Amino acid sequence: MSGYFSPKYRELSPYVPGEQPKDRKYVKLNTNESPFPPSPIALEYAARALAGLNLYSDPDCTELRRRIALTYGVTPDCVICGNGSDDILSFAFQAFCDGETPAVFADITYGFYRVFAARERIPVRIIPLKDDLTIDPEEYHNAEGTVFIANPNAPTGIALTVGEIEGILKSNEKNVVVIDEAYVDFGAESCVPLIKKYRNLFVTQTFSKSRSLAGGRLGFGIADPGLIRDLDTVRCSINPYNVNAVTQAAGVGTLSDGEYTAENCKKIIKTRAYLTDRLASLGFRLTDSLANFVFAKHEEISGDVLCAKLREKGVLVRRFDTERIRDHLRITVGSDEQTDKLLCAIGEIL
Ligand code: PMP
């Protein structure tokens, strides 16, 4: 730390993303990316956008927001776009939390929530998951703060139903409820239709998982126009050009090729079922994941040993050194070939 660093950030522990090593070729199952390339139409649109890079990108993401709105049956004034959904979540912490309005979230959930709160000096109220790692929705009723729920949750993959989320929304009229749907396309139910009924609901989604654009960095949020205006005030006070022109074009191309995304999701769901069965037969206990990853713990081998041995064999998975889940591995559901390599490596280790 230099002597120049503002004291307000000296205690900050930044978010640590899953590694992207370049030292050798790994079977990369540690950051929940899609194993499939972007849609060919996305690539074509992105390539066309390159020639216009002398100009700033559209600060309103007009065409992209129009396409997202069309896809989800809402109007464009219900949509905000960001540089990944991390950007959007960051806006939500800034717009809807402060010293008087804490952020309320689970003890085991997306690790960035804690960092956003710490960065903004927002008090937090942490609600532990139940022993079976599920969320008790009633614990979020009358939350007296801004609620953040990843649905499906990460890293467990377990999802609440829309009915359970509706209960949370009803009892929190005075608070914003943020539902982070980064993994919703792999089998869970989206809350987006509820935005017409609940003005306190903000749903975030990403192009990083089901839509194969993690490197493009594109996320979006959907809510009543009132909430979107607040978020846009924050966004335009930080960086109105937060989504670059190539990424905007790739996003539009991806949405015009919905079939490609749907097919890829089907493949992941099928491979997830296969992987879950095989891991269970190898002595793992797994949560009921509806995401593009499984969350698994072996009966006999510790998480750190297994993670390290897999790495030696060229397979990367994610492990969190956090109470209650130290022995779990979060394993991305990859292609069939990657899955076979993973299973083969685990077989050898066992
Ligand atoms: N929410 C959750 C639950 C996630 O796991 C991630 C991915 N790390 C994100 C949001 C952010 O993803 P992105 O910024 O790539 O959209």
Distance CA 84, CA 93 (A): 15
pLDDT at residue 18 tops 90: no
pLDDT at residue 23 tops 90: no
Last residue of a domain, which of 207, 234, 256? 256
Task: Confirm if 71 and 255 have CB atoms less than 8 A apart.
Answer: yes
CATH of the domain at 242: 3.40.640.10
pLDDT at residue 20 tops 90: no
336-349 vs 258-281: helix crossing angle, rounded to 10: 20
Asked whether residue 225 falls in the same domain as residue 291, the answer is no
CATH of the domain at 31: 3.90.1150.10
Residue nearest to atom 7 of ligand 1 (CA): 182
Asked whether residue 61 falls in the same domain as residue 189, the answer is yes
> Ligand 1 in contact with 206 (CB < 6 A)?
yes
Position 86 scores a pLDDT of 98
pLDDT at residue 211 tops 90: yes
> How many residues are recorded in the chain?
350
Distance CA 58, CA 276 (A): 43
Of 34, 33, 177, 15, whose CA–CA distance to 110 is shortest? 15
Give the position of tokens 């130290």. Answer: 326
Last residue of a domain, which of 207, 226, 256? 256
- pLDDT band at residue 134 using 50, 70 and 90 as cut-offs: very high
Distance CA 226, CA 248 (A): 24
Asked whether residue 200 falls in the same domain as residue 295, the answer is no
> Ligand 1 in contact with 154 (CB < 6 A)?
yes
Domain that includes residue 201, residue range: 40-256
pTM above 0.95, yes or no: yes
Asked whether residue 229 falls in the same domain as residue 327, the answer is no
- What would the two tokens of residue 264 be? 């890829």
> Ligand 1 in contact with 182 (CB < 6 A)?
yes
Ligand 1 centroid to residue 86 C-alpha, Å? 6
- What would the two tokens of residue 318 be? 């994610």
Asked whether residue 49 falls in the same domain as residue 32, the answer is no
Ligand 1 centroid to residue 274 C-alpha, Å? 25
Asked if residue 340 is part of any domain, the answer here is: yes
Domain count for the chain, please give it: 2
> Ligand 1 in contact with 151 (CB < 6 A)?
no
Asked whether residue 28 falls in the same domain as residue 74, the answer is no
Which of 19, 93, 112 is the pocket-test mutation for ligand 1 (most atoms within 8 Å of CB)? 112
